[in-house]
Amino acid sequence: MLRKAAAAFTQRIFGGTCLLCRGNAERGALCAACDADLPRLRSALCPRCALPAVAGAVCGRCLSQPPRFDATVAALEYRFPADVLVHALKFRGELALAALLARLLEERIAGDPPVHLIVPVPLAKGRLRERGYNQALEIARHVARATGARLAPQACERARETPAQIGLPLAERAANMRGAFRAQGSLDGATVAVLDDVMTTGATLDEIAGALKSAGAAHVVNWVVARTFPPG
């Protein structure tokens, strides 16, 4: 009785544990209402790039300029509150969020063909030093455990440092990333999932898929937590 009263008091003063509304998160990082409100992607998307496409067919852009990756699976649309969660993991060191974001991705890839390797998008060295962790790797650890695929962060590394993509015009992003990644070892015939927190233009993922395929990967699929949609 006393303990219950104390718990109620604590919740009133400090709030619950839901990362978004401070409500009562029974299990995990979000309360049931916030979890249900997440912008999960379920509508018709291009299987190649995960942008909206009529009847879920390959979109015109992917048909005219096929990317080097074969498929993209995205769990959420990158808008509120998905952006809050991604930011909190990336910039505020809320590492507990990696498990939540991994679970959302796992929901989406359940039933998909298995992959041999999971390769998290490598962080620039300077960034890694500053932040102390790579958020894509933190998410990938959980997804590897859940799917049984091998986590292979060493399979792809940065070949050179690149200026941050943020703020660059779309057309310059691809040029900025050209030759930025190098695959390590032989990936003969492997099916590889490249994991990242956010996919924007896909320039980074296209470059990584190219590097992995040069090293022999047969099939490259992007597993991304959140996908930005162009306005309109």
Interacting residues with Zn ion (CB under 5 A): 18, 20-21, 23, 31, 34, 46, 48-49, 59, 62
Residue 90's contacts (CB-CB under 8 Å, 6 or more residues apart) are: 131, 135, 197
Decide: 227 and 82 in contact? Cβ < 8 Å.
Answer: no
- Residue 31 vs 100, nearer CB to Zn ion: 31
**Measured between alpha carbons, how far apart are the two ends of the chain, in Å?**
55
Helix (H) or strand (E) holding 88: helix 82-91
Decide: 25 and 99 in contact? Cβ < 8 Å.
Answer: no
- Residue 79 vs 125, nearer CB to Zn ion: 79
- Find out whether the peptide bond into 113 is cis, omega within 30 degrees of 0: no
- Residue 49 vs 183, nearer CB to Zn ion: 49
- Residue 74 vs 118, nearer CB to Zn ion: 74
Residue 172's contacts (CB-CB under 8 Å, 6 or more residues apart) are: none
In the complex, minimum distance from the CB of residue 171 to Zn ion, in angstroms, rounded to a whole number: 18
Decide: 95 and 207 in contact? Cβ < 8 Å.
Answer: no
In the complex, minimum distance from the CB of residue 59 to Zn ion, in angstroms, rounded to a whole number: 3
In the complex, minimum distance from the CB of residue 70 to Zn ion, in angstroms, rounded to a whole number: 11
In the complex, minimum distance from the CB of residue 67 to Zn ion, in angstroms, rounded to a whole number: 8
- Residue 29 vs 140, nearer CB to Zn ion: 29
At position 50, the amino acid (one-letter code) is A
Q: Which of 196, 188, 195, 232 is nearest to 214 (CA)?
A: 188
